[in-house]
A and B are shown apart, each in its own frame.
Chain A
Amino acid sequence: MNAVSELTKGVYRENPVFRLALGLCPALAVSTSVENGLGMGAAATFVLLGSNIVVSLIRKAIPAKVRIPCYIIVIASFVTVVELVMGAYLPELSKSLGIFIPLIVVNCIILGRAEAFASKNGIFRSILDAIGMGIGFTFALVLISALREILGDGKLMGYMVFGPNFKPVLMMILAPGAFITMGLLMGMFNVIDERRQRKG
């Protein structure tokens, strides 16, 4: 596989959220507005990049038996960095993401990439993989949160989309809206796939 496809596979073909059903909790919980979605995506991408680099560097030094705890410590350190930096410079975002910042530790995407990719590949490919997966995760978050924000709040990044007479569907911002949006999007991706296969 060449470098470009390593970078782009996360966006559609192996999208962590829609395809592999990983990282579902943050994808649903913080996707109430596009800003939150972007913030979470950026935080997770940073952690993913850091952990992939470190895991790839120390992969030969870690005994196979204790590799999972080692990965978890590496990931948790980067999460703590994000937690502190975000609390210091972006206190509002940090408050609206709430407990989902420390919970990046148990985001299965990050541990999954460390185990499935960074522990077997060199540093350059691991960086590309981390960026690709990070973009895919951010893309999924932005897609879900844009739909929910437009329908549930009538806004997109603070701008009114439908004009002042639009009555927002409050349900879309609340928990049920998140589940239903997710279900419909996954269904849509399945339909697109099927169409493609029939053509190809």
Chain B
Amino acid sequence: MDVGTFLAIIIGAVFVSNFVLMRFLGLCPFVGVSKDPDSALGMGMAVIFVMTMASLVTWFIYVFILEPFGITYLRTIAFILVIATLVQFVEMVIEKTSPALHRSLGIYLPLITTNCAVLGVAVVNVEDFIATGLPLGASFIYTVVHGFSAGLGFTLALVLMASIRQRLQLGGVPKAMIGIPITFIVAGLMAMAFQGFSGLKI
């Protein structure tokens, strides 16, 4: 456990294998909520929060329930239930404790349950950090850091895309390409730029 490993995990999740542009996770909100930068940022914040929480909770579920009882094949069912419950719970807590935050994040929270990036981060965590036999403490910290930075990468891609789309409204996009098709072309160009990070080694 040293600073280099943390840096590698963070840079890896934000740039090198960006969840949206390199791993193709969370494309639905990426296409749906990227119309203006402000709501993109709101959605991004909600996703960072839920992804970090989901990484934390699924780590406990996997290490203390699924593994000791030898039922790791129930991973998918357990994780999706926990994530769905967690999102509901987070929404209720935010609504009670901070109505202002709820007003800005609230509409995005239900959308997150079906965001494949959240279940994706939990599964990637299991495969990269938990099932690889790291010591408990290390795998816990790596999992949480990875969850947080994966959310950060998602937010980065979402906000970049929203800003580009705002500019695109002024440009002369061919009629057949307006909306989702041009979004995909722009995403392709962004992915090309992000491909440049793939040689990055720390």
Specify whether A and B are partners.
yes
CA distance A108 to B116 in the complex (A): 9
A99 at the interface (CB under 8 A from B): yes
How many A residues touch the partner, as a band? 35 or more
A58 at the interface (CB under 8 A from B): no
Could you tell me if A102 and B75 are in contact, using CB atoms closer than 8 angstroms?
yes
B76 on interface, CB distance cutoff 8 Å:
yes
B101 at the interface (CB under 8 A from A): no
Q: Select the stretch in A118-126, A161-169, A171-179 that faces chain B.
A: A171-179
Contact of B76 among A79, A176, A188 (CB under 8 A): A79
Q: Is the CB of A83 within 8 A of B188?
A: no
- Please give the number of chain B residues whose Cβ is less than 8 angstroms from any Cβ of chain A in the complex: 43
Indicate which residue in B120, B174, B181 contacts A103 across the interface (CB closer than 8 Å).
B120
| Minimum Cβ distance to chain B for residue A25 (Å) | 5
Q: A21 with B180: in contact, given A72-B81, A80-B74 (CB under 8 Å)?
A: yes
* Chain A residues whose C-beta falls within 8 Å of the C-beta of B120 in the assembled complex: 99, 103
Please give the distance in Å from B51's CB to the nearest CB on chain A.
14
B31 within 8 A of A: yes
Asked if B114 is an interface residue, CB under 8 A from chain A, the answer is: yes
Q: Is B103 positioned at the interface, with any CB of A under 8 Å from its CB?
A: no
Also in contact, A106 and B115, with CB within 8 A (given A28-B27, A80-B77): yes
Contact A186 B180 (CB under 8 A): yes
User: Are B181 and A25 interface neighbours, CB within 8 A?
Assistant: no
Known: A76-B76, A77-B77. A178 touches B24 (CB 8 A): yes
What are the interface flags for A102-116 relative to B under an 8 Å C-beta threshold, 1 for contact and 0 otherwise?
A: 110111100100000
Q: Considering only CB atoms, which chain A residue lies closest to B185 in the complex?
A: A183
Interface of A, secondary structure class, is: helix
The reply to whether B114 and A111 contact each other, CB–CB distance below 8 Å, is yes
Which residues of the partner chain A approach B134 to less than 8 Å between Cβ atoms? none
Instruction: Kindly state the separation between the CA atoms of A84 and B77 in the bound complex, as whole angstroms.
Output: 13
Is there a chain A Cβ closer than 8 Å to B26's Cβ?
yes
Closest B-chain residue to A31, C-beta based? B24
* Residue-wise interface mask of B (47-70) relative to A, using a CB-CB cutoff of 8 A (1 in contact, 0 not): 000000000000000000000000
- Check if B155 is an interface residue, CB within 8 A of chain A: no
**Cβ-defined contact, B191 with A183, below 8 A:** no
Residues from chain A with Cβ under 8 Å of B187 in the complex = 179, 183
* A25-B26, A28-B27, A105-B80 given; A176·B74 CB < 8 A: no
| B195 and A176 within 8 A (CB) | yes
Which chain A residues lie closer than 8 Å to B24 at the CB level? 24-26, 28-29, 175, 178
Give the top 4 A-B pairs by smallest Cβ distance, nearest first: A183-B184, A179-B188, A180-B188, A29-B24
| Interface pairs (8), CB distance under 8 Å | A29-B25, A76-B80, A79-B76, A176-B192, A183-B180, A186-B184, A187-B176, A190-B175
Q: Could you list which residues of chain A lie within 8 angstroms of chain B, going by C-beta atoms?
A: 21-22, 24-26, 28-29, 68-69, 72-73, 76-77, 79-80, 83-84, 99, 102-103, 105-108, 111, 171, 174-180, 182-184, 186-188, 190-191, 194
